[in-house]
Amino acid sequence: MKAFIALTKPRIIELLLMTTIPVMFLAAQGVPNLKLVVVTCLGGYLSAGGANALNMYIDRDIDALMHRTEQRPLVTGMVSPRECLVFGISLAVVSTLLFGLMVNWLSAALALGALLFYVVGYTMILKRRTSQNIVWGGIAGCMPVFIGWSAVKNEVSWAAVILFLVMFFWTPPHYWPLSMKVKEDYERVGVPMLPVVAGNKVVANQIVVYSWVMVLVSLLLWPLGYVGWFYPVVAVLAGGLWLWEAHALRARARAGLTGPKLKEMRLFHWSITYVSLVFIAVAIDPFLR
For the segment 123-143, what is each residue's pLDDT rounded down to a tens digit?
Answer: 999 999 999 999 999 999 999
CB neighbours of 33 closer than 8 A, spacing ≥ 6? none
3-state secondary structure of 193: coil
199-240 pLDDT, tens digit each: 899 999 999 999 999 999 999 999 999 999 999 999 999 999
Alpha-carbon torsion angle 222, 227, 233, 237, nearest 10: -80
Mean pLDDT of the chain: 95
Dihedral sign from CA coordinates of 144, 149, 151, 154: negative
Residue 36 CB burial class (10 angstroms; 0-12, 13-18, ≥19):
middle
Helix or strand holding residue 63 (H, E): helix 60-63
Domain 157-289 part of CATH 3.40.50? no
Tell me, what's the pLDDT at 235? 98
> Quick check: 252 pLDDT over 90?
yes
> Quick check: 276 pLDDT over 90?
yes
Q: Supply φ then ψ for residue 198, to 5 degrees.
A: -130, 160
What kind of architecture, by CATH, is found in domain 1-156? Answer: Orthogonal Bundle (1.10)
CB neighbours of 8 closer than 8 A, spacing ≥ 6? 45, 48, 49, 50, 52, 53, 91
Domain boundaries along the sequence of the chain: 1-156, 157-289
4-21 pLDDT, tens digit each: 999 999 988 888 899 999
Tell me, what DSSP letter sits at residue 119? I
Prediction pTM value: 0.95
